Amino acid sequence: MTHTMAADNAAALAGSTPPWPLLKAIARITNAPLSGIAEQLREAMHPFAGGDALVIFTEECTGRPQKKAGDGDITAGVSITELQQLRESLAGTVMWAGEAMIAGKDRPVLALTYPPSNALLVITNPDAPAAPTFYSSSPASGDGPGGIAAESTAGSGALDMVRYLWDLAARRIQEKVSDAPPSYLVESRAASAERLRVTSELVDLHSTTLETLVAASRSTSIDDAAARAAVTDLAARALVELRTHSDRTAEQIEEPVASAFERLRDDLRPLTRLSGVDVQFIEPPLNGRALPGEVAVAARAIVRGLLLAMMEQPEVRRVRTQWDCDGENLLVSVRDDGNGGLSTEAPAMGRLQRRVQALAGRMEVDLLPGWGSDISVVLPLDPPAAPGDVAGWNLAARELEVLQLLAAGQRNRSIASALNISENTVKFHVRNLFRKLGVASRSEAIALAHSRGLR
């Protein structure tokens, strides 16, 4: 039966012309790097959907959540907030056509989701698909904001092809992120600077403001009139900061380490004044190397997060934070005088750890029973060097991941946590690395990895 079907298919193919342009377009999608997959997908989809721009939104790629191709005005102007709002409005819908806010304007769009990864595809100003069946949606149907749900039927060949190509691309993005090579990790660190400068500090700054407002409202050490005055002053300054923040961060490519630390102290001064905790600031040297924008933003956010986590311990009365710079790294130290009971498993600590790792840094937490918590953070000031040729080592994907973390100075426990595997599995991979690299120790493996640009 199988042989007969294969023969029939071969005969049918021999009597027709294979769709080589489409097949080649599919091959280009499957082989494209993450940075080029949007362009290849747009090229493949354009004969079926048209449109002047294509945007992919997937949070799996933390450094580059948007992948875009087409009209520069649209691709440059579309925001993560717009894409998040559109995706939320499409809950439970796989394909939708209508008008949505994209790049600051209501535009006709064709939107598709990919439920396994919660990814979103948006095509702006699409052509009318070939013979689709559209059904009017009600506001409660979940099909989208004031649009129409597009349902694929036997006659909607163009929509079927668009859907197929999107599913293919979304699956490939999942696979490429899960098997991220060194080049992708380097790209992610550089690309994350854009998102960090635009959003992260604003979020962290105003979350601190809200914490301070709550602290002022709850404080028993000041009377109601003083609390109202403090809250009013904080809110007014926060509004001014909100209006000027974007311009300042857009211009701020680098920041002197001393002024970056001074901004941290200014941001935290109201909280430290009202919380009852004595926060001591040990200043960095005035002639320290200037910090790249994403490092300055991350360092302030990390210290804020650690300070808030430490203040949640009722026995903490004093916290000391210190910055230093060795020319290659920003060295951050935060220590409290509690009983050493800081929860390292708390979600907030996990978010801070991931933020450190996103900049190829490392964070070490020492809990000293009866003496407090001592946390040190090292943030490299330069992005990792472009990795050299490591193909000759014949490393499996997981072995390469372990080697990258090993080269970054991570211990077995940290590597296991970062890769969600056991320490015994890490030891197994390290032994294999020693054998394949022809080395006898971790220091030799790290030195060899550094010589190939892995850091």
Contact 294, 359 (CB under 8 A): yes
Q: Does domain 395-451 have CATH number 1.10.10.10?
A: yes
User: Rounded to the nearest 10 degrees, what angle do helices 293-311 and 182-195 cross at?
Assistant: 80
- Check residue 112 and give its pLDDT: 94
Report the alpha-carbon distance of residue 257 to residue 143 in Å, rounded.
49
- Orientation angle between helical segments 157-178 and 37-49, nearest 10 degrees: 170
Q: What is the pLDDT of residue 410?
A: 82
User: Is residue 274 scored above 50 in pLDDT?
Assistant: yes
Inter-residue contact 122 to 102 (CB < 8 Å): yes
Q: What pLDDT shows up at residue 106? A: 92
Is residue 271 a contact partner of residue 208, using CB atoms and an 8 Å limit? yes
Using CA atoms, how far apart are residues 98 and 137, in angstroms rounded to an integer? 10
Out of 247-261, 355-369, 437-451, least confident range: 247-261
Cα separation, 276 vs 295, whole angstroms: 29
Predicted pLDDT at 183: 43
Stronger pLDDT, 388 or 211, i.e. the higher one: 211
Question: Which of the residue ranges 7-16, 43-52, 356-365 would you say has the lowest mean pLDDT?
Answer: 7-16
Higher model confidence: residue 413 or residue 189?
Answer: 413
Dihedral over alpha carbons 295, 296, 301, 304 (to 10 degrees): 130
Q: In 10 A of CB 46, how many CB atoms?
A: 18
Query: What is the β-pairing status of strands 105-114 and 95-102?
Result: antiparallel
Higher pLDDT, 314 or 113: 113
Residue range 111-117: average pLDDT? 90
For 400, the token pair is: 């390469």
Q: Tell me the pLDDT band of 202, cut-offs 50, 70 and 90.
A: low
**Per-residue buried b or exposed e for 167-199, using 16+ beta carbons within 10 Å of the residue's own CB:** eebbebbbebbeebbbebbbbbbebbbebbbbb
Residue 395 has, within 13 A of its CA and on its CB side, a CA count of 25
The pLDDT assigned to 92 comes to 81
Q: What is the pLDDT of residue 50?
A: 92
Strand (E) positions, 266-371? 278-282, 291-292, 318-325, 329-336, 362-368
Measured in whole angstroms, the distance separating CA 1 from the mean position of its chain's CA atoms is 50
Confidence of residue 241 (pLDDT cuts 50, 70, 90): low
Q: Across 108-117, 259-268, 332-341, 380-389, which has the greatest mean pLDDT?
A: 108-117
Quick one: pLDDT band at residue 152, thresholds 50, 70, 90? very low
The pLDDT score that the predictor gives to residue 148 is 41
Q: Kindly state the average pLDDT of the residues 271-294.
A: 81
Q: Where are the domains of the chain?
A: 19-178, 183-380, 395-451
pLDDT at residue 135 tops 80: no
pLDDT tens digits, one per residue of 351-364: 888 778 777 788 88
Tokens coding 146: 């004031």
- As a whole number, mean pLDDT of residues 48-75 equals 83
- Could you read off the pLDDT of 100-110 as tens digits, one per residue? 999 888 999 99
Contact 387, 183 (CB under 8 A): yes
Structure token digits, residue 373: 């918590």
Q: Structure tokens of 297?
A: 């933003």
pLDDT of residue 227: 78
- Structure-model confidence comparison of residues 135 and 242, the more confident one: 242
| CB 379, CB 397: distance < 8 Å | no
Fold for 183-380, please state it: Heat Shock Protein 90 (3.30.565)
What pLDDT is recorded for position 322? 92
Rounded to 10°, the helix 37-49/20-31 angle is 150
pLDDT of 121 strictly over 50: yes
Question: Nearest to residue 308, comparing CAs of 267, 362, 360, 249?
Answer: 267
Tell me how far apart the alpha carbons of residues 346 and 344 are, in angstroms, rounded to a whole number.
Answer: 6
Mean pLDDT of the chain, nearest integer = 77
Q: Which of 95-99, 249-253, 356-360 has the highest mean pLDDT?
A: 95-99
CATH topology of domain 19-178: Beta-Lactamase (3.30.450)
Q: Report the candidate in 74, 168, 73 with the shortest Cα–Cα distance to residue 112.
A: 168
Residue 343: how many CB atoms within 10 A of its CB? Answer: 13
Q: Decide which of 186 and 421 is more confident.
A: 421
Separation of first and last alpha carbons in the chain: 56
pLDDT digits (tens, 9 = 90+) for 402-441: 888 888 778 888 888 878 888 899 999 999 999 888 888 8
Count each helix (H run) and each strand (E run) in the chain, helices first.
16, 14
Grade residue 140 by pLDDT with cuts at 50, 70 and 90: very low
CA distances from 49 to 111, 178, 325 (A): 11, 29, 53
CA 295, distance to chain mean position in Å, is 15
**pLDDT at residue 277 above 80?**
yes
pLDDT attached to residue 154: 36
pLDDT recorded at residue 1: 40
Strands of the sheet with 119-126, listed across from one edge: 66-70, 50-57, 119-126, 105-114, 95-102, 148-151, 133-136
